[in-house]
Amino acid sequence: MERPEAYPITYGVLGLLAFMGPLSGYDLKHLFDSMLAPMWGAAHSQIYNELRRMRELDWVEMEREEQESRPDRKVYHITQKGQKALTAWQSQPPGVYQIRDELLLKVMFGAFASPDALAKNLRAGLVEHEQRLHQYRMNSLLIPAHRTTQGEAYQGRSHFQPYTEENADESDLFLNLIAHFAVALEQTYIKWLQEAIAIIEHQPTGEQEQS
Q: Which carries the bigger pLDDT value, residue 93 or residue 38? A: 93
Q: Report how far residue 211's alpha carbon sits from residue 206's, in angstroms, rounded to the nearest whole number.
A: 9
Q: What percent of the chain has pLDDT over 70?
A: 80
Q: Report how far residue 66's alpha carbon sits from residue 51's, in angstroms, rounded to the nearest whole number.
A: 20
In tens, the pLDDT along 147-203 reads: 544 334 444 444 444 544 444 456 678 888 888 999 999 999 999 999 999 999 887
Q: Is the dihedral of CA 131, 137, 138, 139 positive or negative?
A: positive
Q: Which of 192, 180, 178 shows the shortest CA–CA distance to 129? A: 192
CATH topology of domain 1-98: Arc Repressor Mutant, subunit A (1.10.10)
Bridge partner residues of 62 (DSSP): 76
Q: Report how far residue 38's alpha carbon sits from residue 32's, in angstroms, rounded to the nearest whole number.
A: 9
φ, ψ at 92 (rounded to 5°): -90, 145
Q: Which residues contact 115 (CB under 8 A, 6 or more apart)?
A: 200, 201, 203, 205, 208
Q: Is the dihedral of CA 181, 182, 183, 185 positive or negative?
A: positive
Mean pLDDT of 53-64: 95
**Cα 89 versus chain centre, distance:** 18
The answer for 60, left when phi > 0, alpha when psi is -120 to 50, beta otherwise, is: beta
Amino acid 169: pLDDT? 52
The answer for 58, left when phi > 0, alpha when psi is -120 to 50, beta otherwise, is: left
* Every domain range in the chain assigned CATH 1.10.10.10: 1-98
**In this structure, how many other beta carbons lie within 10 angstroms of the beta carbon of residue 2?**
4
In tens, the pLDDT along 21-57 reads: 999 999 999 888 888 877 888 899 999 999 999 999 9
